[in-house]
């Protein structure tokens, strides 16, 4: 009997290890978004906003092998002491998770998932800001590995202070 999934060159496809670690993207979607411009796009030519960017990642179990990860991106812009706009985007993804050690799972949720979701959130923020009548806003790239390493170091320092 022949292999049910032969490759184009006629060789058999390798069998997947059911115990191998897995963190795979299943779907990406916009979960929630909001845009507020209390005074509208009234820019008097002195557009020099003070931008505040906040990022947050959360994960919820959908099933034993599926997690919904939500990256929340909040951007506020102030100009001349007043709020110009506030935009919040919750970009979500469903990820298959199997056979990961706890430390690997935490790292995947804090780094891999946001790296996948951030470009979608970044595009949505840019779209909402421009649709609100403001000049184009492109968020800078974010290194989630560095953010994760920093948070782990801070947690370790805090644990040492508390002991």
Q: What is the pLDDT of residues 129-148, one digit of tens each?
A: 999 999 989 999 999 999 99
- The pLDDT of residue 72 is 98
d(CA 161, CA 48): 41
Tell me the sheet residues that pair with 74: 54, 88
Instruction: For residues 95-117, give the mean pLDDT.
Output: 94
Q: Cβ distance 37 to 131 under 8 Å? A: no
- Residue 26: φ, ψ to 5°: -105, -40
Q: Which residues contact 71 (CB under 8 A, 6 or more apart)?
A: 55, 56, 57, 90, 91, 92, 113, 114, 117, 118, 121
| Lowest-confidence pick of 12-21, 119-128, 131-140, 141-150 | 12-21
Q: Cβ distance 90 to 117 under 8 Å? A: no
CATH fold of 22-38+49-140, please?
Bacterial Protein-export protein SecB (3.10.420)
Instruction: For residues 106-133, give the mean pLDDT.
Output: 96
- Please determine, for residue 43, whether its predicted confidence score (pLDDT) is greater than 80: no
Average pLDDT of the chain is 89
d(CA 19, CA 100): 10
Q: Name the pLDDT band for 91 (thresholds 50, 70, 90).
A: very high
């Amino acid at each position: 009997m022949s292999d049910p999934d032969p490759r184009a060159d006629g060789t058999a496809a390798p069998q997947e290890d059911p115990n191998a670690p897995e963190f795979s993207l299943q779907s990406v979607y916009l979960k929630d978004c909001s845009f507020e411009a209390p005074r509208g796009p009234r820019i008097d030519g002195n557009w020099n906003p003070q931008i505040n960017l906040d990022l947050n990642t959360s994960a919820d179990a959908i099933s034993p092998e599926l997690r919904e990860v939500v990256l929340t991106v909040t951007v506020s812009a102030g100009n001349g002491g007043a709020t110009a706009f506030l935009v919040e985007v919750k970009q979500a993804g469903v990820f298959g998770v199997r056979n990961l050690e706890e430390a690997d799972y935490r790292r995947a949720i804090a780094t891999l998932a946001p790296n996948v979701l951030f470009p979608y959130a970044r595009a949505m923020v840019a779209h909402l800001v421009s649709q609100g009548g403001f000049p184009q806003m492109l968020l800078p790239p974010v290194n989630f590995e560095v953010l994760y390493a920093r948070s782990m170091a801070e947690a370790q320092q805090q644990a040492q202070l508390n002991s």
